[in-house]
Amino acid sequence: MMQTQQRYYTPDEYLAQEEVAEFRSEYRDGEIVPMTGGSINHNQIAGNIYAFLKFTLRQTDYKPYIGDLRLWIPQYRQYTYPDVFLIQGQPIFQEQRTDTVLNPCLIVEVLSKSTKDYDRTDKFRYYRSIPELREYVLINQYEIEIEQYTKAEGSSWLFQAYEAETEKITFGSINIEMTVEDIYENVNFNLGDQEG
């Protein structure tokens, strides 16, 4: 049996390919990984959070971004597209680029079956290397389940779980509250078997 050798891509090769690609991919230290398509529930949850943050934080120095803006994590050589993230003040761009940022303070990922383990483990480790990051929120699209990690002293992170529609989540990095019910507004769990 012949073994196929995996091609290593430089960050520049990835960025050049990404500019003309029909579908987005992430870059994981030399490997280009196609992103899975989003489901309607995935899209609804990300949109609910983005709309809430956009409305609540208007006229502040916090700005939310959704889906299409790329994040570069230099320590681990990772390019990724968080579902929703927040930047305080001005975005810090990767040199000579206006489509790739470095400084989110809050990242929200909507979990899918194919990425949930990665989002909870390696991706969280990569995100923790971002000096500005103070909060990481993972949202299950198949049932009511939210995991929130808030940076504490030193390298400690506090964990909080939410599993009831009646609960409220406090985004500690910006000190605002959102109900779990609002996060899941218009989400139909009967569509839960679709990938996204």
Q: Is pLDDT at 3 greater than 80 in this prediction?
A: no
Query: What is the Cα–Cα distance from 98 to 139, expressed in whole angstroms?
Result: 28
Could you count the other beta carbons within 10 Å of the beta carbon of residue 25? 17
Q: Given this model, what pLDDT does residue 193 score?
A: 56
State mean pLDDT over 40-53: 97
User: Per-residue confidence at 7, pLDDT binned at 50, 70, 90?
Assistant: confident
pLDDT in tens, 139-195: 999 999 999 999 998 889 999 999 999 999 999 999 999 999 999 999 999 975 555
pLDDT in tens, 55-76: 999 999 999 999 889 999 999 9
Q: Given this model, what pLDDT does residue 196 score?
A: 47
Q: Is pLDDT at 41 greater than 90 in this prediction?
A: yes
Q: Given this model, what pLDDT does residue 194 score?
A: 54
Q: Is pLDDT at 125 greater than 80 in this prediction?
A: yes
- Domains observed in the chain: 39-71+83-190 (3.90.1570.10)
Query: What is the Cα–Cα distance from 5 to 25, expressed in whole angstroms?
Result: 20
Q: Is pLDDT at 133 greater than 90 in this prediction?
A: yes
Query: What is the Cα–Cα distance from 183 to 177, expressed in whole angstroms?
Result: 11
Query: What is the Cα–Cα distance from 66 to 51, expressed in whole angstroms?
Result: 10
Q: Residue 175 in contact with residue 147, Cβ under 8 Å?
A: no
